Chain A
Amino acid sequence: MKRSADKTATGLIVLGGLGLLAFALRPQESEHDQNEAPPDDMSAHEKDVLALARMLASETDNAKARVVIGWITLNAARTWRMSVYRLLTGKSGKFGPQKYFYPDGKKEVRYASTSKQPTAETYRIARGLLDGSITPPGQVERTKPSAYVELAPASKKLGPDGKPLQPEYTPEKILAKQQTYGGIVGRLNNWFLYAKGAQPIDSVEHATVV
């Protein structure tokens, strides 16, 4: 009799534990994401500068690539009819990874990551791009790319949904994206630039180096 009661109690504990585990495993906000908002009294222009500077610091360490993707980002803000700050922080208005998770588990995919703090150099480039004193190479201005993708493995950092915050991009995936973004018009290290209406290429090796 006692043995049977012990068995029931053990089973109950195990099942209760499993139940609690299932409850705990539902999607939640990652504790590691540092999402912060700019100061309230910051002007709209300074918010743009800060957002762009953070984005450039977060996306690449290459100075030339920073100018090119920053320039594309300014054009994207124009086509989406929103400020650079809003393009990069979405409805939350908070900086952080591209895939942003709200406390209730809902996610929002922003234009690019702003998870890293800006540096003096990214501030300089952001200001220059916004006031027009810094421009990309002539070929970029001429071909007007509207999209860019980096050939890279998936990020090691996972979101609360268990997926990498940045997906993997292989040469095949880079080429396949031409169907959606237009042909590849340039390559800058591992960054591939796409322009709507441009002729697609059939190998990443054929991309013109910017």
Chain B
Amino acid sequence: MTGSEYAILNRWSLDDLRSLASLQLARAQRVLGQPLVAQLYLDMAEQLSDPRERRRYYVSAYREARQALEAFPSANAFFELVLPKDIKNEIDALKSSYDVVNQTAKGRSDWDVHYQEFLQYYEKNKDPGWLNSSYATITNIRERAQRLEEWKKKLSGEGVKVLEPEKKPPPSPTKDAIDSATVALLLGIGGVLLMKGSK
């Protein structure tokens, strides 16, 4: 890590630092599949009350986890780049799943409360952008997706038939180009036939 990176980390709040170190550690452990010394630093930070000391250990945990990942040849492939468009896709997919489950689950008071709460959340977050969302938004959406899975299990266990949303195939740019060419060709043929018919 460079001096400027340390300088930036030293300006972060303790909560943000803790979150960053935990996230980096979780990624590193998932990729490497082994315990890391960074965990030790994180645990020590959690036990300290002096903010300066805690900060030092959080930074150490982050540094160690990052170094462990940097040694892994394809580590960069594991860093998830989430853009507002990705959030939009995930929240819309979750809404579809909720709507489908609601088809058979509606009328149950506990589900109805849960579903209404989700709809409110959806309305508030359905147009994510760089300035009104963050990585925390997608984390929250994924937690909600997990909760929906738990609901599905619960409902199935209680004899409710749980449906799944239809999966749409992703749009193909090649197909779109072919479609445009086909439309152009059909226009031409249609025009010729019309003229022939009017003769």
Chain A contacts to B: CB under 8 angstroms: 4, 7-8, 11-12, 14-16, 18-20, 22-23, 26, 45, 74, 76, 78-82, 86, 90-91, 104-106, 108-111, 127, 130-132, 146-147, 180-181, 194
A22 touches B3 (CB 8 A): no
- Tell me the complex Cα distance, A8–B197, Å: 11
Given contacts A79-B136, A91-B81, A104-B173, contact A15 B188 (CB under 8 A): yes
Chain B facing A: main interface SS: helix
Residue among B7, B10, B81 with the highest chain A CB neighbour number at 10 A: B81
B 95-139 to A, binary, CB cutoff 8 A, 1 in contact else 0: 000000000000000000000000000000000011110111000
B20: A residues at CB distance < 8 A: 81
Question: Cβ of B176 < 8 Å from any Cβ of A?
Answer: yes
Question: Of A18, A90, A109, A131, which one neighbours B7 at CB under 8 angstroms?
Answer: A131
Q: Does B77 contact A (CB under 8 A)?
A: no
Name the A residues within 8 Å of B184 (CB-CB): 18-20, 22-23
B131 touches A180 (CB 8 A): yes
Chain A residue at smallest Cβ distance from B82: A80
Distance from A192 Cβ to chain B, minimum over Cβ atoms (Å): 12
Return chain B residues, CB-CB under 8 Å to A181: 131-132
Beyond A19-B188, A131-B4, is A106–B173 a contact (Cβ under 8 Å)?
A: yes
A11-B135 in contact given A22-B180, A109-B85 (Cβ < 8 Å): no
| Complex contact B195–A11 (CB within 8 A) | yes
Chain B residue contacts of A80, Cβ below 8 A: 82, 130, 134-135
- Residue tally, chain B, CB below 8 Å to A: 40
Residues of A near B82 (CB, < 8 A) are 80-82
Q: A74: which of B2, B8, B84 is its contact (CB, 8 Å)? A: B8
| A79 close to B135 (CB less than 8 A) | yes
Are A23 and B181 neighbours in the complex by a CB distance under 8 Å? yes
Task: List 18 A-B residue pairs with CB atoms under 8 Å apart, sorted by A's residue number.
Answer: A8-B196, A19-B188, A22-B184, A26-B176, A26-B180, A45-B5, A74-B8, A78-B12, A104-B173, A105-B173, A105-B176, A109-B83, A127-B4, A131-B4, A132-B7, A132-B10, A147-B131, A147-B132
Q: Which residue of B lies closest to A91 (CB)?
A: B81
CA distance in complex: A31, B135 (Å): 33
Cβ of B199 within 8 Å of any chain A Cβ, yes or no, is: yes
Pairwise interchain contact A12-B188, C-beta atoms closer than 8 A:
yes
B1-48, CB < 8 A from A: 2-5, 7-8, 10-12, 16, 20, 23
Q: Is B183 an interface residue (CB 8 A)?
A: yes
A22 CB contact (under 8 Å) in B12, B23, B79, B183? B183
Q: Which residues of B contact A105 (CB under 8 A)?
A: 173, 176
Structural contact, A4 and B8, CB atoms closer than 8 A: no
User: Which residues of chain B have C-beta atoms less than 8 A from A109's C-beta?
Assistant: 83-85, 130
Top 3 nearest A-B pairs by Cβ distance? Answer: A19-B184, A15-B191, A147-B131
B185 at the interface (CB under 8 A from A): yes
Chain B residues with Cβ below 8 Å from A194 are: 131
CB distance from A87 to the nearest CB of B (A): 8
The answer to whether A11 and B192 touch across the interface, beta carbons within 8 angstroms, is yes
Contacts of A15 in B (CB 8 A): 187-188, 191-192
Q: Provide the bound-state CA to CA distance between A91 and B195, in Å.
A: 50
Other A-B pairs, 12, CB within 8 Å; known A15-B191, A80-B130: A4-B199, A8-B196, A11-B192, A12-B188, A18-B184, A79-B136, A80-B82, A81-B23, A81-B135, A82-B135, A130-B8, A180-B129
